[in-house]
Structure 1
Amino acid sequence: MLRILLVGVLASLFFSSTFVLNRAMSLEGGHWLWSASLRYFWMLFFLAVWLGVTGKARLGMDALRLFRQHLFFWIVAGSVGFGVFYALITFSSVFTPGWVVAATWQLTILAAPLVLLGFGRRVPLRAVALTLVIFIGVVLVNIEQASVASLSETLWGALPVLVAAFAYPFGNQLVWEARRGEKTWLPTLDHPAMDDAVCRVLLLTLGSLPLWGVLLLVISPPPPSVGQVTQTALVAVCSGVIATSLFLYARHEAKSTAELAAADCTQSMEVVFSLAGETFLLGHVLPGTLGWLGIGLTMLGLILYVKVQARS
């Protein structure tokens, strides 16, 4: 359990770059869809390079064959778990600071047990009840944000993240379930490529590409600037490759529902890392009393949640 938690916290450090850099690109006038989609195009390049330099090119080719064999599954899992999730997270950065998005994103800790229940997995009711502490913390953060921005901006910043909070664990859980082959309605993906975190990220990234193509055709955003292209590359490395691989590694090391939930809730640390990043890099003002109280409740909920799950 401790190893899973440490890897998860390290992943949250790299994940926080998403919220900080997405907000920076939004303030510079970059369109949210390019901030979202370019990250995944960059990821394909970096993942291919990584597999090549680490001597896993053959495993990468095996992953491509696995993708072709189960094309529909990977498009669904990738579009929901990577596409819908990240499109909504990036869209929210247009309306609210990154640390607020990161705090609201912690609703995924409430969403994750519900997703597990939906897949027929056992989740301790005490742990689910404790997620309400995190929920209250998120509400307080957004109440403070509403005091400095309009209600409509606050809702546009919060509601998409709420949907994203369910999309991300749902997409990842689809892969987790398929790997174990216990659901008759899912393909059984018992393959060496599924044991490699980078290959799993590659498969989900490939699955998200049709969604990005459709969105780009429908919305037709203006061309991205050189700075936006560069910053999305940095997000792709830090969050898309390093953080996602670490997180999926932690999640797939889990041998029980309790360990799965522990890996999921380490993402709460993203709030702290994002707040620090925006304060030092973007010069944002620190949150007020309600904001700090909300962050404190979120972190308290995380600690209590993990303790309950560890005892179950």
Structure 2
Amino acid sequence: MLKLILLGILSGAFFSSTFVINEMMRVQGGHWLWSASLRYLFMIVFLSIVVLASGGIRQMAGVLRLFADHWRFWMVSGGIGFGAFYALVCFAADFSPGWVIAATWQFTIVASLFALLLFGRSFPRRVWFFSLIIFIGVVMVNLAEADGFDLRKLLMGGIPVIIASFCYPLGNQLVWEASNGNNGRLPKIASPFLHNPFNKVLLMSLGSLPLWAVLVVFIHPAAPSVSQVMNTALVALFSGLIATTIFLFARNRAENSSELAGVDATQSSEVVFALLGGMLFLHTPLPGMLPVLGIVLIMFGLILFVRYQKM
């Protein structure tokens, strides 16, 4: 159990690089759209290498065929679950420190409930109580960071991340419903390729490309610098590939619901690592008492959530 927890915390450290490096690119003057879109271009490159290395040309051809057969679905699920999600997170990085975005992002576990409700799922009352604890913590962190309740900073830094926290589980749930459910409004994609999480991430990454193209055409940002290109590659490598691999490995090694819940709970460590990374690389000041209490509430709610949701 201890080994799994340590692996989960290690994956949280790599996941937190997203928030720290995005803030670093903002400080250096990089446009948020390149921070978002270039990550997924690199993700496609890295994931293609993984798929080719693990399954060869045959697996890669099968994944591309699956995308071509249902391209509209992958554009919707990938555009929402990856495109809209990460565009909003990177946009918010222009207004809030990385650790605040990391803390707000933990609201995704609450947003996941609403995504599931859309497809007819229900939950015990205690889950909503745990969700309320997380929400209160998120509000406390954002209010404390908003410099005297600066409405603009709240709207630009906090609200986009909360919306993103709904986009991510919704996009992923669409894929689950298409491959496992019986929803008449979605295509039935019963493919063995979807049993491999890397194939699934690659398909959704490909589906997000049209959204990135549209945003680049309409926003027309200045060309990215070499450092921004390199930093987005690091985010794709650290968060998109290494962190995901470690986290999925730890979950797959879990032998019971308690161990699985423990691994899931370690992802709250992203907040701490994002704060430490900001302090180390960006000289982020220590937060005051209110945001610290908010972080404690978020972590407490997450631990309660995964502990009792898995029982």
Matched, 1:214 2:214: yes
Which residue identity is paired with 1:79? G
Q: Who is 1:276 aligned against?
A: 276
Which residue identity is paired with 1:162? I
> In structure 1, how many angstroms separate the alpha carbons of the residues matched to 2:258 and 2:119?
15
> In structure 2, how many angstroms separate the alpha carbons of the residues matched to 1:112 and 1:7?
24
Matched, 1:285 2:296: no
Q: Who is 2:62 aligned against?
A: 62
Deviation, structure 1 residue 56: 3.4
Deviation, structure 1 residue 46: 1.1
Check conservation: 1:141, 1:291, Cα contact below 8 A.
yes
Check conservation: 1:43, 1:237, Cα contact below 8 A.
yes
Which residue identity is paired with 1:107? F
Distance change >3 Å, CA 4–CA 181, structure 1 → 2: farther
Check conservation: 1:201, 1:244, Cα contact below 8 A.
no
Could you list the runs of 5+ residues in structure 1 that have no partner in the other structure? none
Deviation, structure 1 residue 5: 7.5
Matches within 5 A, 1:1-312: 9-147=9-147, 150-244=150-244, 267-311=267-311
Distance change >3 Å, CA 248–CA 33, structure 1 → 2: farther
Check conservation: 2:18, 2:239, Cα contact below 8 A.
yes
> In structure 1, how many angstroms separate the alpha carbons of the residues matched to 2:258 and 2:161?
24
Check conservation: 1:20, 1:274, Cα contact below 8 A.
yes
Which residue identity is paired with 1:54? S
List per-residue Cα deviations over 1:130-167 (Å, max 9, x = no partner). Answer: 11111111111111101378431232100111110100
Deviation, structure 1 residue 186: 1.9
What SS does the corresponding residue of 2:198 show, helix, strand or coil? helix
> In structure 2, how many angstroms separate the alpha carbons of the residues matched to 1:108 and 1:143?
19
List per-residue Cα deviations over 1:266-294 (Å, max 9, x = no partner). Answer: 54322112112111222211111011101
Could you list the runs of 5+ residues in structure 2 that have no partner in the other structure? none
Q: What is the percent sequence identity of the aligned residues?
A: 52
Deviation, structure 1 residue 263: 7.5
Deviation, structure 1 residue 3: 9.8
List per-residue Cα deviations over 1:209-256 (Å, max 9, x = no partner). Answer: 0000000000000000000000000001111223345567788999xx
> In structure 2, how many angstroms separate the alpha carbons of the residues matched to 1:293 and 1:237?
32
Check conservation: 2:24, 2:282, Cα contact below 8 A.
yes
> In structure 2, how many angstroms separate the alpha carbons of the residues matched to 1:222 and 1:129?
45
Distance change >3 Å, CA 204–CA 121, structure 1 → 2: same
Give aligned pairs, total.
Answer: 311
> In structure 1, how many angstroms separate the alpha carbons of the residues matched to 2:192 and 2:289?
50
Distance change >3 Å, CA 160–CA 112, structure 1 → 2: same
Check conservation: 1:108, 1:165, Cα contact below 8 A.
yes
RMSD value over aligned CA atoms?
2.9
> In structure 2, how many angstroms separate the alpha carbons of the residues matched to 1:120 and 1:180?
14
Which residue identity is paired with 1:89? V
Check conservation: 1:8, 1:267, Cα contact below 8 A.
yes
